[in-house]
Structure 1
Amino acid sequence: VTGPSVLTPLLRSIRVDDRLRDILASEGVIIDPFGALLTLFLLEIVLAETLNVAGPTWWVIERLLIGLAVGAGGAFLVWLLSRTVKRLGGREMALFVIGAAVAAFAVAESLAHESGLVAMVLMAIAIGNLRLPQRERVDDLQESVTVWLIASVYVLLAAGISIDDLTGLWPEGLIVVAILALVGRPLLIMLASIRSGLNWREQAFLSAVAPRGVVAASLAGVVAVEASSLAGSDASRLVAMVFVVILLTIGIQSAYAGTLARLLRVQPMTTVIAGAGEVGRRVATLIAGSGEPVLVVETDEDAVMQAREEGLEVLIGDISDTAVLEKIRLNEAKALLLATPDDARNLLAAQLARSKFNCESVFVRVNDVANIEAFQKLGVVPVSQSEAVASELARMVAGPMFQDVLAQVAEDVTVARVVVTSAAAQREIQAIPELRGTLVVLVTRGSDSVIPNGRTELRLGDIVTIFGSLQDLAIARGGLSVVPDPEPIIS
């Protein structure tokens, strides 16, 4: 069986498209518990004095039900804590999650032996879909603990294998590994990919990457012990054979996986966006909507939560931190967009992106027009939002399109600004009937300015720039604000 204990760190170190990543990750998570139960199911049949399938079948069903119930209960406790205890630090939350997982495993095992793995898998899937506070810190600590635990398991299991057992497998061990990797795995992928929509490049990558994990080693030990007690013979060769398969598949496939992904062109170029404000989220949504992979980097947890609610992939971190840039593999990115409200941070990140990570396509949202020249000297593309909005409005005012619109509406058309102070106006522009007959050209929210569309949602404090007749503007004011009629800024 492929194992998440090996696949998870492997997928963190190489970049493959989302579909392949999901297939490999899901394969490892799903196959581990069901592969273990199937192995133990067959072992129960073999060890039975008479052929009896009903007993082992109920044995499997019982462990599935107990594991599912205990795993769901553990996930519920984690969810309940994250909702009831405020200001819980990342380390404390991570320790609680790990403790809850260990407790769930112990409870499931006490109720039915071999049901703990099912409970752990279900609990992990459920927690993976929860919105935990400081999620990245939780994941980092859990990953560190997991590495140590898995390493300990490998050491303990390998302690029972002698050098003679390993050398005694030559050359049969290499032949078995070659058959599994070059014949068995490609054949399984070919059969499983029928009508799946996977192209030959994706099938080739899945066929070539299938490292075995710690569950396979653990099962080998269990089977060896049971077989020894049944046959009265030493089954250490079985354990040694499994370890040879694990070591060779991990060592060889981990070494060539990244290169193979590049050669097969299954390694997507991701656009990295720094800043999960209105501009950053809007650009990320547009790029993701076109089918391109995009990653948002943000330090503010509230902005991170909002971006994730919109379906965006977000990493908590400082874009001007070299460690963060290395973690997101900026040197492999398609482009970098710096959209934070801090020009100093944007400037430092742009310098690192160009000089250390050789990122050719760097775009910067410039908050202060006085800094445009500094960004231009770095060879990046600066975009000043205020300059762009001003230029567009000036073009509209001076251009024939604007004049045509004014002529078609009325002679008393003017442009005005309204501050949103009415709670009833906190909805999408297209859902506000008082704005009919007007054109909303700009929404200013704090230091951000947005060119709106019908689905743009207004908030209290927004400054809305609209144009229309004086009568229509008065109606618009009644729907948006409780202050006097808007003062025209252009007439």
Structure 2
Amino acid sequence: MAVETAAGAMDPVAAVALVGALGVGAQWIAWQLRLPAIVLMLAAGLLVGPVFGLFEPARDIGPFYLPMISIAVAIILFEGGLTLNFHTLRDAATGVKRLVFIGAPLGWLLSTLALRWGAGTSWESAVVFGGIMIVTGPTVIAPLLRTARLARRPAALLQWEAILNDPVGALAAVLALEVVIVLRTSEQLGSAFFSLAVGIAVATALGVVAGYLLSWAFRRAKVPEYMKVPVLFAMVLAVFAVADSILHESGLLAVTVMGVVIANANLAAYEEMRRFKEHATVLLVSGVFILLAASLDFSALAQLTWRSIFFVVVVLSVVRPVTVFLALAFTQLPMREKILVATTGPRGVVLVAVAGLFGERLVELGVRDGALVGPLAFILVAGSVVVHGFTLAPVARFLKVTASRTPGVILVGGSYWTTELAEHLKEAKIPVLITDQNRGHLRRPRELGIDTFFGDVLSEGAELRVDMNGYKIVVAATDNDAYNTLVATDLGPEFGRENVYQLAREKAANARNALPSSLGGRTFAQDATYNELNRLMWSGWTFAVTRLTEEYKLDEWRAQRPEARLLAFIDPAGEIHFVGGEDEVASGPGVRLVSMLPPEEAKKREGRS
């Protein structure tokens, strides 16, 4: 039987499909144009929603869209907790503790004052909304960090603060709302605070117990491999629902704690679970932003005055910087990193969702300007997303706290071939790192001033000591084909499979040794193997970096050097691209070709020079 829809309403299935297409499409376009994805998602939601009226979540999806947002936020926070391994805190631990234990209460106080004297709200609305404003938004921070490529410590500070303060902000708002309820009704103050304390304690305990229970079950093989992710999802939803039924918004705390416990349990299946959750989070973040932007009511924004804009300016330019500088005072953090964190405080999904709900509760309690909380939250999110989306990367580059201005190359395996390649890449201003488990293989690279890492690139030590954000390409080039395949397979999801290469395997052509396409990385250098490349080096082949011009183009270079092996090219912006398979090679002026030349070509080149 067909389901009737209201006049002008969209079919619910089509509505959900539209949300997915807009969210993922906005992220893809942002990646192509190198723009902040959050800004495009916000614009897409506004266009299909209040601007053109094509999509209205409450009408087209129905009453389930708000619970959908709540569940999505819970999953996003759980995935955020999964990324919070205590080992990553090494240098940022003090800063994170201060931002949570000092910054959160201080931010609550300053935000409340900004709302009262800046936006002109009542004290009741200011205290409740001020608590919610502690949240800095992991849904916004994650895409921004991916684009800005910050150095390890400031990135860890922003990530940990955003994820830990999300449930803290929600619970602060619950605390403030309980106080308002006591003042506006006959409820006793003691019982209100008792229920609040019980709710927080139960939520924390639920998160810890569920995390340890799942870790125990996964480690003891009580759950089959193919069911681990479904069981994980089911447990997240169950923990969130149980905690939320005891104290509203405490479910966010429970799932965050659960994620942190699992992240630090050293599970063998941790990486697979985390990557799946990351993929789900990309979909959820985009979907939630589209839904929230599309559900905006312009008539609600009409209630706002110029003081609302003044409030947003005060929050971004005064409240956030003062909060961070006071919280991080007398720490060993460099001033540049303090300035970056102080000027980065975007708000996201949790703030809008919780503010809208609590605003309605305030109106029910007789606080008239509670209706302003939702619109104020939206313009704060929109303003902070746009400002930080466009300024984070430039500010980070100005302060010199990015991982590296030019994306670099990690060469796995120290050999004659990788050392010579690294030397030429370094001369071309491309950051390069050679890793090897044999200290002797790194002796010559160190003599040449090339950055090295002694150890396994897949080890926890490499994760802690090597700033992976500074590198774009990985080349697995050891004399062990199986290890090269392992490195390429493991690092593929992190760097992007299109950016992970390995030397061709010696027995790859043999059907008994052929591997599925899901394993290993891309080959290059005309499918050369380790032994082949090093034989070429010992027989006199050399590396060359050749610049193309208007007069000297790629076709002419190929004609003059028919036997040369093209490895990569460096575009005019200074970014390197390795050439594998049928990849297109840029041929415009300013492009530099990185190649290997046979002895006779090298001699001709020396003669011309």
Q: Please give the TM-score of this superposition, normalised by the length of structure 2.
A: 0.49
8 Å Cα contact 2:217-2:223 kept in structure 1: no
**Equivalence for 1:120:** 255
User: Which of 166, 172, 175 is the aligned partner of 1:38?
Assistant: 172
CA RMSD between the two structures: 4.3
Match of 1:61? 197
Once the two structures are superposed, the pairs formed by residues 18-417 of structure 1 within 5 Å of their partners are 18-48=152-182, 49=185, 53-85=189-221, 92-133=227-268, 135-158=270-293, 161-169=296-304, 171-231=306-366, 233=368, 235-269=370-404, 272-274=410-412, 278-279=437-438, 282=455, 293=467, 316-318=490-492, 323-324=496-497, 326=499, 342=505, 348=523, 369-372=534-537, 377-379=542-544
**What is the alpha-carbon distance in structure 1 between the residues aligned to residue 464 and residue 207 of structure 2?**
37
Q: Per the alignment, do residues 369 and 169 of structure 1 end up closer, same or farther by CA in structure 2, a change over 3 Å counting?
A: same
Q: Say if 1:339 and 1:365, in contact at 8 Å, map to a contact too.
A: no
Greater shift in the superposed pair: 11-20 or 65-74 = 11-20
Residue type matched to 1:120 in 2? V
Tell me if structure 2 keeps the 8 A contact 1:45–1:52.
no
> Which of 138-147 and 283-292 deviates more?
283-292
Contact 2:203–2:251 (CA under 8 A) maintained in structure 1: yes
Cα distance in 2 between the residues matched to 1:79 and 1:159: 39
Q: Is the 8 A contact 2:437 2:454 kept in 1?
A: yes
Amino acid at match of 1:44: E
Deviation, structure 1 residue 152 = 4.3
Q: 1:110 to 1:53 in 2, by over 3 A?
A: closer
Letter in 2 for 1:162: D
Cα separation, 2, equivalents of 1:289 and 1:79: 22
List alignment gaps of at least 5 residues for structure 2.
1-134, 414-434, 439-452, 509-519, 546-609
Aligned partners of 1:57, 1:111: CA distance in 2, in Å? Answer: 13
Letter in 2 for 1:65: A
CA distance in structure 2 between the aligned counterparts of 1:371 and 1:81, rounded to whole angstroms? 52
Label 1:209 to 1:289 Cα distance change in 2 as closer, same or farther (>3 A). closer
Q: Give 3-state SS (helix, strand or coil) of 1:231's partner.
A: coil
Give the residue type in structure 2 aligned to 1:5.
T
Answer whether contact 1:3 1:212 (CA < 8 A) is retained.
Answer: yes
Q: Give the superposition deviation at 1:94.
A: 3.0
**Residue in structure 2 matched with residue 3 of structure 1 by the alignment:** 137
Tell whether the 8 Å contact from 2:263 to 2:270 is kept in structure 1 after alignment: no
Q: Which amino acid aligns with 2:243?
A: A
Q: Distance in 1 between matches of 2:540 and 2:279?
A: 38
Letter in 2 for 1:204: I
Cα distance in 2 for partners of 1:142, 1:11 equals 18
Larger radius of gyration: 1
- Structure with the bigger RCO (C-alpha within 8 Å, sep 6+) is 2
Measure how far apart 1:261 and its partner are.
Answer: 1.3
The Cα of 1:62 is off from its aligned counterpart by 1.0
> Structure 2: how far apart are the matches of 1:374 and 1:176?
70
Q: Does the 8 A contact of 2:324 with 2:342 survive in 1?
A: yes
Does the Cα contact within 8 Å between 2:208 and 2:258 map onto a contact in 1?
Answer: yes
Q: Distance in 2 between matches of 1:131 and 1:56?
A: 39
> Aligned partners of 1:340, 1:281: CA distance in 2, in Å?
21
8 Å CA contact retained: 1:71, 1:120? yes
Q: CA deviation at 1:281?
A: 5.8
Residue 16 of structure 1 aligns with which residue? Answer: 150
What is the TM-score when the length of structure 1 is the normalising length?
0.60
Q: 1:376-405, CA deviations, whole angstroms, 9 ceiling, x for partnerless residues?
A: 55549xxxxxxxxxxxxxxxxxxxxxxxxx
Q: 2: distance between equivalents of 1:286 and 1:123?
A: 22
Identify which range, 19-28 or 261-270, moves more after superposition: 261-270
Letter matched to residue 370 of structure 1: R
Aligned to 1:424: none
Q: CA deviation at 1:210?
A: 1.0
**Unmatched runs of 5 consecutive residues or more in structure 1:** 308-313, 329-337, 353-363, 381-491
Distance 1:375 1:281 in 2: 29
Count of residue pairs the alignment pairs up: 349
Tell me, yes or no, if the aligned pair for 2:489 and 2:521 is still in contact at 8 Å.
no
